[in-house]
């Protein structure tokens, strides 16, 4: 496969191509003079009026000005419509990508209030769209439950758009306003309308702010589908009108998070037919849980608070985990399925589990502005009590399902004990104890992990070239013999018996599985350097599968890289030039000509290169091209790993058939 096509297998990984990972920057020896000589008086104090602060520091409000921040604009507007759904008024949200990457979000909720605001003296719609920290979610009277609590969402979108139009229908009158870069350009215009109600927001992201203003349909679809699952009965329509033939997807799930779990398990084999569903409430808070066990060896748990994905968990996750483990132990001992000295740990209880935890509460407290971890202590008690009671009742009423889950956990517990013994064999006595390092490892002399990198190479031939060509001060080489074990199809105890995997674990020095500690890593750049062919791609995918399942912090922390060796060497007049793709080759040949004095060599393997060539093209920090592996969507990643590396053949065959046209230069 060509360099770019090889990565089509895992589109949820963001690969950033760059030269010199350490980015060689000129460092001066002198100390920077921070003394300010200008006069410091009242003239230096700037007051950013209106939405100027947002345009000045957009990253503070939407995270970044990259594609991620661009899509966040859509989420902000959609979230307001979803809050209307939670309040019991909105039943349908339409999101349209119009030609020119204009976004249109329309709902059939109550509509943003348009009367004159008593405090500001201008239409309330204008207040909502031009004043920070203005919203109906502060006192809890307008909305009992909401994801947005700061009152900045709509105004931020307005500030970061080169234009925005708002239309509000209140059942009698249609109100219209227009803004440019946060400034009102068309005052409120009123026209009669029939009985319809709702809000429509149209905007175009400001190209002066964002690196790109082109939306990705798939990114929006994933987010909107997730929201449709979380809000049972809500219909969300996504329409893309940018091409001549519009694309439309209607997402409507009466089953809510039950269907969400079924969707996540579509490529897995469930151990029980029906999804287990529980719900409960206390005071102004409610919680619901949907769960199903599969024959997988990994768990997938997603938690949400007021429809916000709490990727770092929080109190609701803690309550669920504690209750689940306790119920399995209590039920197993009550019915003599467990021996007196036998008990499950949390990881045993959750092996093969797919679970969705969704809570709704009036005063959500998130740890940090990113809203990735729920901090409300009362939610732990609510979820714990609900799951303890209702899951035990379910087991009592469905003893066969309970027995199946208990047996799954027992097998996991036995594997855990075996893995514990195997893990001890992989642990190094100390970070500097070279005697315990694998024999095939050619280590570097540097001991500062932030300066060290290790190349995982395919075979002894490439390993020999890499060892001879490297800079031994900071570059370590670990050759692997053949393809490592497919970890998607086996448990940790068997995985740790694999010699190649053991060598990696020992070399990295940070442990494996739940014991993995990135602070103990001996190398902060782990580079997969494989051949530019099908076998090399397969080995790389096997490595990524292992890292994702058992060393996830490596990917989350940005420690994993993929080396990109050149595909071609062009020689003309004894001058050598390397290119990394077919496109680069064509462009370079157009530049120098295609005469008889030009020779082109295609590299099929790293072993074809001399040590000097490998250093010059692939390992030299000043010239190499690398890709950092990053995780954009954990749900998609889990599904993709399971699809491509799991036991089910038919879904994999369908995927290959659908995507075969994307592959170029396949080596057969």
Q: Do 174 and 192 touch, CB atoms closer than 8 A? A: yes
Beta strands 525-529 and 560-563, pairing class: parallel
Euclidean distance between CA atoms 157 and 404, whole angstroms: 50
Tokens of 570: 């062009």
Strands (E), 193-273: 197-205, 235-240, 247-252
Strands (E), 525-623: 525-529, 560-563, 568-572, 575-579, 598-602
Tokens of 567: 């595909």
Name the catalytic one among 52, 533, 582, 584: 533
HSE at residue 154, side-chain half, CA atoms within 13 A, is 29
Max CA distance (Å), the chain: 83
Name the catalytic one among 180, 535, 584, 608: 535
Dihedral of CA atoms 7, 10, 12, 18 in degrees, nearest 10, equals -30
Exposed, middle or buried: residue 374 (CB in 10 Å: 0-12, 13-18, 19+)? buried
Task: Indicate the angle between helix axes 217-230 and 257-264, nearest 10 degrees.
Answer: 130
Query: Cβ atoms within 10 A of the Cβ of 5, count?
Result: 17
Going by the DSSP 8-state scheme, the letter that residue 324 receives in this structure is: H
Q: What are phi and psi of 574, to 5 degrees?
A: 65, 5
Query: Cβ atoms within 10 A of the Cβ of 159, count?
Result: 27
Q: Do 6 and 664 touch, CB atoms closer than 8 A? A: no
List alpha helices for 308-444, DSSP H: 315-334, 346-349, 377-397, 399-426
Beta strands 102-107 and 161-170, pairing class: unpaired
Euclidean distance between CA atoms 150 and 61, whole angstroms: 11
- 515 is known as an active-site residue: no
HEC letters along 469-510: HCCCCCEEEEEECCCCCCHHHCCHHHHCCCHHHHHHHHHHCC
- Which residues, at least 6 apart from 375, have a Cβ–Cβ distance to it below 8 Å? 314, 315, 365, 366, 367
Euclidean distance between CA atoms 392 and 331, whole angstroms: 7
- Which residues, at least 6 apart from 290, have a Cβ–Cβ distance to it below 8 Å? 256, 257, 258, 260, 261, 275, 276, 277, 278, 355, 356
Q: How far is CA 459 from CA 7, 38, 456, 535, in A?
A: 22, 62, 10, 12
Name the catalytic one among 288, 458, 488, 633: 458
- 15 is known as an active-site residue: no
Query: Across the strands, what pairs with 170?
Result: 197
- Which residues, at least 6 apart from 74, have a Cβ–Cβ distance to it below 8 Å? 95, 103, 105, 215, 220
Q: What are phi and psi of 402, to 5 degrees?
A: -60, -45
Name the catalytic one among 79, 167, 531, 616: 531
Euclidean distance between CA atoms 120 and 137, whole angstroms: 18
Euclidean distance between CA atoms 253 and 82, whole angstroms: 15
Active site residues: 458, 531, 533, 535
């Amino acid at each position: 496969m060509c360099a770019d096509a090889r990565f089509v297998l895992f589109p949820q990984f963001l690969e950033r191509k760059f030269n010199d990972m350490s980015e060689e920057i000129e460092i001066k020896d002198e100390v920077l003079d921070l003394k300010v000589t200008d006069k410091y008086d009242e003239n230096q104090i700037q007051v950013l009026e209106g939405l100027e602060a947002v345009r000045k520091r957009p990253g503070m409000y939407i995270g970044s000005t990259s594609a991620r921040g661009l899509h966040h604009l859509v989420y902000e507007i959609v979230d307001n419509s979803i809050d209307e759904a939670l309040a019991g008024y909105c039943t349908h949200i339409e999101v349209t990508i119009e030609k020119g990457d204009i976004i249109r979000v329309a709902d059939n909720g109550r509509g943003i209030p348009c009367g004159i605001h008593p405090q500001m003296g201008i239409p309330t719609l204008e207040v909502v769209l031009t004043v920070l920290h203005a919203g109906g979610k502060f006192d809890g009277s307008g909305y009992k439950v909401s994801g947005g609590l700061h009152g900045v969402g709509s105004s931020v979108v307005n500030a970061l758009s080169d234009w925005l139009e708002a239309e509000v229908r209140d059942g009698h009158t249609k109100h219209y306003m227009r803004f440019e870069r946060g400034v009102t350009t068309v005052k409120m215009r009123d026209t009669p309308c029939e009985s319809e109600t709702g809000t429509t927001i149209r905007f175009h992201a400001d190209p002066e702010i964002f690196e790109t203003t082109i939306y990705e349909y798939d990114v929006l679809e994933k987010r909107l589908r997730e929201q449709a699952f979380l809000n049972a009965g809500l219909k969300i329509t996504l329409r893309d009108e940018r091409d001549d033939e519009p694309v439309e997807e209607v997402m409507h799930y009466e089953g809510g998070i039950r269907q969400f779990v079924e969707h996540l398990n579509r490529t897995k084999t469930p151990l029980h037919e029906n999804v287990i569903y529980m719900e409960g409430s206390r005071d102004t808070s409610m919680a619901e849980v949907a769960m199903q066990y599969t024959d997988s060896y990994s768990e997938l748990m997603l938690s949400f608070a007021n429809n916000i994905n709490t990727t770092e968990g929080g109190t609701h996750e803690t309550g669920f985990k504690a209750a689940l483990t306790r119920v399995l132990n209590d039920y197993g001992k009550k019915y003599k399925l467990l021996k007196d000295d036998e008990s499950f740990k949390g990881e045993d209880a959750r092996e093969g589990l797919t679970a969705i935890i969704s809570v709704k509460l009036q005063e959500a407290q998130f740890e940090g502005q990113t809203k990735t971890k729920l901090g409300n202590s009362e939610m732990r008690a609510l979820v714990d009590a609900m799951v303890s009671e209702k899951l035990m009742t379910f087991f009592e009423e469905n003893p066969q399902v309970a027995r199946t889950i208990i047996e799954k956990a027992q097998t996991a517990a036995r594997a855990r004990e075996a893995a514990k013994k195997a893990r001890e064999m992989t642990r190094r006595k100390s970070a500097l104890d070279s005697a315990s390092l694998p024999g095939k490892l050619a280590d570097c002399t540097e001991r500062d992990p932030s300066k060290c990198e290790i190349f995982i190479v395919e075979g002894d031939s490439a390993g020999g070239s890499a060892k001879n060509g490297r800079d031994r001060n900071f570059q370590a080489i670990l050759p692997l013999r053949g393809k490592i074990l497919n970890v998607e199809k086996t448990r940790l105890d068997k995985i740790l018996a694999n010699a190649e995997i053991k060598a990696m674990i020992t070399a990295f020095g940070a442990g494996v599985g739940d014991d993995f500690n990135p602070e103990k890593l001996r190398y902060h750049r782990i580079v997969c350097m494989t051949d530019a062919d099908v076998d090399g791609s397969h080995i790389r995918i096997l490595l990524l599968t292992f890292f994702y399942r058992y060393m996830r912090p490596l990917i989350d922390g940005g420690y994993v890289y993929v080396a990109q060796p050149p595909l071609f060497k062009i020689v003309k007049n004894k001058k050598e030039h390397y290119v990394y793709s077919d496109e680069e080759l064509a462009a370079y040949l157009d530049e120098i000509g295609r005469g008889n004095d030009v020779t082109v060599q295609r590299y099929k393997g790293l072993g074809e290169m001399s040590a000097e060539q490998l250093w010059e093209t692939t390992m030299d920090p000043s010239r190499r091209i690398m890709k950092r592996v990053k995780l954009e969507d954990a749900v998609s990643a889990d599904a993709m790993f399971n699809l491509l590396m799991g036991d089910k053949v038919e879904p994999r065959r369908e995927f290959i058939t659908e995507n075969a046209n994307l592959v170029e230069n396949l080596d057969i």
